[in-house]
Amino acid sequence: MSLLPSIKDPTPANARKAGTEDKPLALHVAGLTKRFAGVTANDGVDFDLEVGEIHCLFGENGAGKSTLSSCIFGFCTPDAGQIIVRGQPVEMHSPRDAIKLGIGMVHQHFVLVPEFTVLENIIVGTQKSGWRLDDRAARQKLNSLCEAYGIEIDLDAYVWQLAVGRQQWVEILKALYLDVQILILDEPTAVLTPDESARLFAIMRKMCANGMSIILITHKVAEVMQSNRVTVLRKGKTVATVQTRDTSPEELARLMVGREVSFSVNKSTIAPGDTVLEVSGLGARGYWNEAVLNQVSLSIARHEILGIAGVAGNGQKELFEVLSGVRWAREGTIRLNGEDVSRLTPRAMMDRGVGHIPDDRFREGLVGPFSIAENLILGWQRNAKYRSGLFLDRTKIAALSKTMMARYQIAARDDEVPVENLSGGNAQKVILAREFLHSSGLLLANQPTRGLDIGVIEYVYAQLLQKREEGFAILLASEELSDLFNLADRIAVMFKGEIVGVVDPKTTTVEEVGMMMAGRRMEAGR
Amino acid sequence: MSGLFQEAILISIFAATLRTMTPLLFSAMGELVTQRAGIWNMGVEGTMLMGSFVAYFVATATGSLWLAVLAAVLAGAVMGLIIAFMTATMRVDHFVTGLGLNLFAGGITLYWFQSYVHGGPQPSFSGFEDVPLPFLSDIPFIGPVLFSQRLLTYAAFFIVPAIWFLLYRTRYGLELRCLGENPKALDVKGLSVPVRQYGAVMFGSAMTGLGGGFLMLAFSDRFIADFSAGRGWIVVVALIAGNWKPKGVLLAVVAFAFLEAVATHAQVVGVGVPRQLLLALPYIASIILLMGVRFRTGQPAMLGFPYARE
């Protein structure tokens, strides 16, 4: 009908292409390569950021997200490739150059001085003239910024007085105060409650409406879905850049890991066997003599996973410590296969086949400067298997670590590498290998997947399910309720050191457990 | 003992306290600036010793006391430059750096001293005299204590408020304190951490050098080996005891100086305690103090940690 060429034809493909090309670019990274001591952290990464968008950098730990952002913020200089800011190729040697170009960054671990006030933290290093400290102009500017973005904060409060979540607003204000145009946020919600995260995203959208552009680094799929576009990194390379509305969590997870990831687990239906662990009336006190455990009773049978749900700090850690013998209970009894073990030392518990995966893997699970091989036998160094006379039998230990590194896919040059140089996932695998190898019957796993990538989480859960199959009784605490619902046969909910209820995940909803985590007791008879 | 004699002794003790305090105070305020910038400088003793020797050398060679003061300040700054290079650039452990520097200063001053003297008669100089302030020094009791001192002691009266103002009321002070608490917070604002650490350590060590110089020029007429006799260590203790706050450090320094003054006067009065034990009083006090100080709330969080971008 029309003689005009169909350039206005709004086919989805055309519309999408035009949409991305028309918008001016705030930042363009082309073929960026960065190596550290032989390891290629970024390998020809391409990335662009449109003005006014939230662009997610998505990838596993070690995929190169942090290196890329460090290069964009001038913390490190790329070995090859180009960074183009608003059409101008730039070379940055220090954050000073980045700040001049209007690039700001909120680091994952806050860069704040607890002893300074909020105001001092924001203005330190920004005053360029005059030698007397002058905060009047800063105060005015900050007040209007707070008003514009709906941030409520006392500028004269000391940062150490602020809850961790509120410290994030200080970091945001630091960036806003410097008038940044491009803001990099590195895992900004790691320490925020869901409510605070929602507020952060509202602030981010306001920033974008004001013409700022945001690079959001995350490995949480739910957050990615709130962005405009996503760039997925894997092993230092750009895998794909997609419009968020055109993708799905499943696709993103597949792109990130490089293979299909099953979000559901295949749990076999095995009837629980004999009772392995029987705890009754357990009570324990903390450093200030406050009750940290109160009348805790539970039991776990063979072929059973008992999940522990609860907001962190409600006695979970203490429960695991008591059960592994690290902390003594004031009241109550612990029976392991019928034997009273309430007063046993950690070593005696280990000898009875109790495996313990602590929640803080680098502080309690491993000795950082020790090698993989040494950590694999940690606690078992007395065992005749690893000794020849008075000395450690290095040949046997080396053989063991070789097997374990292969079986648990621990990625490291060799077994002499100190575990502190390993990624969180590989370090956790060392603990898993050790505890699985030496335990029999009971496994205490406190937050075994905290801070790990999807791929590793999947692996850890598969391992736990296999142990369940083999007849282990497993106590599993997790802050991810969905995981507990997938894995556990029963879920005990802890609140203020007490178990407020034990529920069957098949007949309960996440919401109900959530209510119990906030202290609502389960009604009798349910 | 007559009342008049008692009063004379008291005046003498208090006046001596202020005199003894002066070199410690200069050094301590310098070290305060250094440590608030995050450098745990253990080389105070060596820096004071260097200041003392250089002051002695210049005073005897040129006859000018003020030139000697200037030389002591410069010597301190040079020591600071070495410390800054080791800690901020080379990122050597702060303690190792300081201890090494103390050994170096002890050895090199002795070597220079012996080369200078050549086994001949040791040159000496006449040091700073008291400069009684007109009218003020005539006030009974207070006058002879406060206003009949060396010029540099008068200057020391102002050094504490001056350092306090520098730390808490200037933008340099804010940046400096930030260095000690979290240097990365400055780095991410695009400011150079090493440049500021060099500045702080050189300024602080220049003050320490001044302290060493004054020690020489006001208390002696010649150099001897190990001249500073542990006063640098007293300064380090004063920082901890004073909880890294100007006022606290001042109090600690005054306490040490008072003990030393009492110790020297007790000999005159004739207390039945061995002289050596009396002279050891400030050092014994410092040990007891360190055992007693449990709170270190004022200690800069990153004090003693070399900074590097990860």
pLDDT of res. A5: 38
pLDDT at A514 over 90: no
Residues A349-360 have pLDDT tens digits of 999 999 999 988
In a domain, B126, yes or no: no
Does the ipTM exceed 0.85? yes
Provide the 10 A C-beta neighbour count for residue A38: 5
Residue A449: half-sphere exposure toward Cβ, Cα within 13 Å: 22
The answer to whether residue B136 is domain-embedded is no
| CA geometry: angle A12, A15, A21, nearest 5 deg | 140
Q: Which two tokens stand for residue A141?
A: 């500017």
Q: Around B229, how many Cα atoms within 13 Å sit in the side-chain half-sphere?
A: 12
Q: What is the pLDDT of residues A154-173, one digit of tens each?
A: 999 999 888 878 899 999 99
What average pLDDT does the structure give for chain A?
87
Out of B171, B174, B185, the one facing A111 most closely (by C-beta) is B185
Confidence band (pLDDT; 50, 70, 90) for A400? very high
Mean pLDDT value across residues B136-163: 89
User: pLDDT digit string (tens) for B18-63?
Assistant: 999 999 999 999 999 999 999 999 999 999 999 999 999 999 999 9
User: How far apart (Å, rounded) are the C-alpha atoms in residues B129 and B156?
Assistant: 16
Residue A286 parent element (H or E): none
- Residues of B contacting chain A (CB within 8 angstroms): 169-175, 177-178, 181-182, 184-192, 301, 309
| A137 half-sphere exposure, CB direction, 13 A CA radius | 8
Give, for A176, the enclosing helix (H) or strand (E).
Answer: helix A164-177
Nearest to A64 by CA among A45, A83, A84, A37: A45
What domains are there in chain A, each with its CATH number?
A: 1-102+180-261 (3.40.50.300), 113-179 (no CATH), 274-353+442-453+471-520 (3.40.50.300), 364-438 (no CATH)
In a domain, B143, yes or no: no
Mean pLDDT of A312-326: 90
Min distance B181 CA to chain A CA atoms (Å) = 6
Q: Which residue in B has a C-alpha nearest to residue A98's C-alpha?
A: B190
Contacts of residue A346, Cβ cutoff 8 Å, sequence gap at least 6: A324, A325, A326, A356
Q: How is A476-513 classified by DSSP, letter by letter?
A: EE-S-HHHHHHH-SEEEEEETTEEEEEE-TTT--HHHH
Of A100, A112, A131, nearest to B171 by CB-CB distance is: A131
Indicate if the pLDDT at residue A525 is higher than 60.
no
**Chain B environment of A95 (Cβ under 8 Å):** 187-190
Q: Among A234-243, A434-443, B276-285, where is mean pLDDT lowest?
A: B276-285
> What does the pLDDT read at residue B287?
81
Query: CA A236, CA B121: separation in Å to the nearest integer?
Result: 74
List the domain range (segments joined by +) for residue B163.
7-117+155-292
Token match 């979970």: residue?
A: A316
Q: What are B258-305's pLDDT values in tens digits? A: 998 988 888 777 777 787 888 888 888 888 877 776 667 789 999 999
Domain harbouring B62, CATH code: 1.10.3470.10
DSSP notation for A125-160: TT--S-SB---HHHHHHHHHHHHHHT----TTSBGG
| Segment B216-232 mean pLDDT | 92
CB contact under 8 A, A121 and B185: yes
Which chain A residues contact residue B175 at CB under 8 A?
124-125
Q: Which of A76, A100, A113 sits opposite B181 (nearest CB)?
A: A113
Question: What pLDDT is stored for residue A87 in this prediction?
Answer: 92
Tokens 């070399």 correspond to: B306
The answer to whether position B299 is within a domain reads no
CA dist., res. A132 & res. A91, Å (int): 33
Domain assignment present for B305: no
Encoded tokens for A89: 């190729």
What is each CA distance from B170 to A111, A129, A148, B201, B249, in whole angstroms? Answer: 22, 11, 30, 18, 20
Cβ–Cβ of B190/A100 closer than 8 Å? yes
Q: Judge contact between A347 and A339, C-beta under 8 A.
A: no
Chain A interface mutation, best of B168, B188, B310, highest count of A Cβ atoms under 10 Å: B188
Contact B186 A125 (CB under 8 A): yes
Q: Is residue B200 part of a domain?
A: yes
Q: The dihedral of CA B101, B106, B107, B108: what is its sign?
A: positive
- Domains: count for chain B: 1
In a domain, B205, yes or no: yes
Pairwise CB contact (< 8 Å): A131 & B186 = no
Pick among A113, A119, A184 to test the B interface (most B CBs inside 10 A): A113
**Contact across the interface for A94 and B174, Cβ inside 8 Å:** no
Confidence of residue A362 (pLDDT cuts 50, 70, 90): confident
What pLDDT band is residue A7 in, cutting at 50, 70 and 90? very low
Number of Cβ pairs closer than 8 Å across A and B? 71
User: So what's the pLDDT on residue A13?
Assistant: 37
Chain B residues within 8 A of A121 when measuring between CB atoms: 185
Substitution target in B167, B186, B189 with the highest count of A β-carbons within 10 Å is B189
Q: Please, which contacts does A340-344 make with residues 24 or more away whose CB atoms are closer than 8 Å?
A: none
pLDDT 10s digits, A37-72: 777 889 999 999 999 999 999 988 778 898 899 999
Own/partner pairs for B104-107, CB < 8 Å, 24+ apart? Answer: B104/B46, B105/B43, B105/B45, B105/B46, B105/B47, B105/B49, B105/B50, B105/B79, B106/B46, B106/B49, B106/B226
Q: How far, in Å, CA of A196 to CA of A171, rounded?
A: 14
Q: Which of B17, B33, B3 is nearest to B210 (CA)?
A: B33
What pTM was computed for the model?
0.79
Nearest-neighbour CA in chain B from A393: distance (Å): 36
DSSP A208-246: HHTT-EEEEEE--HHHHTTSSEEEEEETTEEEEEEEGGG
Residue A162: which residues within 8 A CB-CB, separation 6 or more?
A: A118, A153, A170
Alpha-carbon Rg for chain B in angstroms: 20
Q: Which tens digits make up the pLDDT trace of A139-156?
A: 999 999 999 999 999 999
Is B52 inside a domain boundary? yes
